[in-house]
Copies of this chain bind each other. A is one copy, B any other.
């Protein structure tokens, strides 16, 4: 698909920085979400007033440097939801990237342009960030492999922060082999040949998804079950996905407000109404609510440690539905976002790694299946994705 038809890249951001020759990723091209610093180019963060009021970075972000050093060639910076606050991938300033797999539908966000660029074949892999679902949702909507690594595992230097206690660096690929190759470099770890021994099916998450999505994902769940063997059904969030999501929607916007408040105070920047609203509501959350949310976070972490003991992974739908239509009014988009967050909140809340795998098509629209493991099991989840493709 031609560049201009995808609108994946920030205008004027088509850089070309060759990868170091002879690296493991030689021959691959990549794009970086416009939250990552590229030396000599402004970091836009999806908002023209951010780019304007921040210095042009002098050095590459850690993740950009890592891929270039491994041989991948950077070809551009991609559109993101403003300051990474958004989940469907619409940007009023730069336009909404096209979802090449679902015409007329949103690409998912906030790593919208990165997912669109990879899905359209404009590059082999692309960097995204995931705070509340920003890699997992576009991976699901665009039919891609995508990872949210263990929180705190990868350096975030040169990556624009949103809510540091949830922010992670992720990436996308169209096929499992490329995904494994890039993941091995980024994680600094060989993708293991061994698979997990136990599979937990998150029945609350499948129950929460639209019934068509849950049904469409059954075949891949069966294949996963066949590969792994021991399977049991469990509730992931006994307190309720809605409760976990509420906690995440308490912590994340509160932190985002702290991240951006000095800039807002100084520059009174422009935002889409929904983004300004998120930030303002974040500023209004009382300490007592944040205290409550921290308790929920602690409890959720305990629950995930209990479920995801060594050798166990959990699977759930990456999103409760396939990509919704573009340009929905706020009264439709708001509840969509809330439902997406119910299936994504465990990541930001507990820090466990998650890989979204192309799972099924619903009337031709992709929806992802996710595997989640204990902290540090990122490479195992990548191995599961690779094995699923082999057995596909």
Contacts and interface: CB of A to CB of B under 8 A. Distances in A.
A268 B90 CA distance: 10
A270 B270 contact: yes
Contact of A329 (B266, B273, B280): B266
A49 interface: yes
Contacts of A276: 271, 273, 276-277, 280
Interface in A347-369: none
Interface residues of A, number: 22
Nearest to A261: B330
Nearest to A266: B329
12 contacts: A49-B92, A92-B270, A93-B270, A265-B329, A265-B331, A266-B330, A268-B330, A268-B333, A270-B270, A270-B271, A273-B276, A276-B280
Contact of A271 (B264, B271, B331): B271
A279 interface: yes
Contacts of A93: 270
Contacts of A331: 265
A95 to B, nearest CB: 13
A272 interface: yes
A3 B330 CA distance: 40
A135 to B, nearest CB: 23
A274 interface: yes
A81 to B, nearest CB: 12
A268 B274 contact: yes
A274 B272 CA distance: 12
A27 interface: no
Nearest to A49: B92
A280 B277 contact: yes
A226 interface: no
Contact of A272 (B90, B270, B333): B270
B279 A273 contact: yes
A192 interface: no
Contacts of A264: 273, 330
A269 interface: yes
Nearest to A333: B268
A11 to B, nearest CB: 16
Interface in A235-271: 264-266, 268-271
A72 to B, nearest CB: 34
Given A92-B49, A277-B280, A269 B272 contact: yes
Contacts of A90: 268
B268 A272 contact: yes
Contacts of A274: 268
Contacts of A280: 273, 276-277, 280
Q: Return the 3 tightest CB-CB contacts between A and B, nearest first.
A: A276-B276, A265-B330, A92-B270
A94 to B, nearest CB: 11
A264 B330 CA distance: 8
A329 to B, nearest CB: 5
A79 to B, nearest CB: 15
Contacts of A330: 264-266, 268
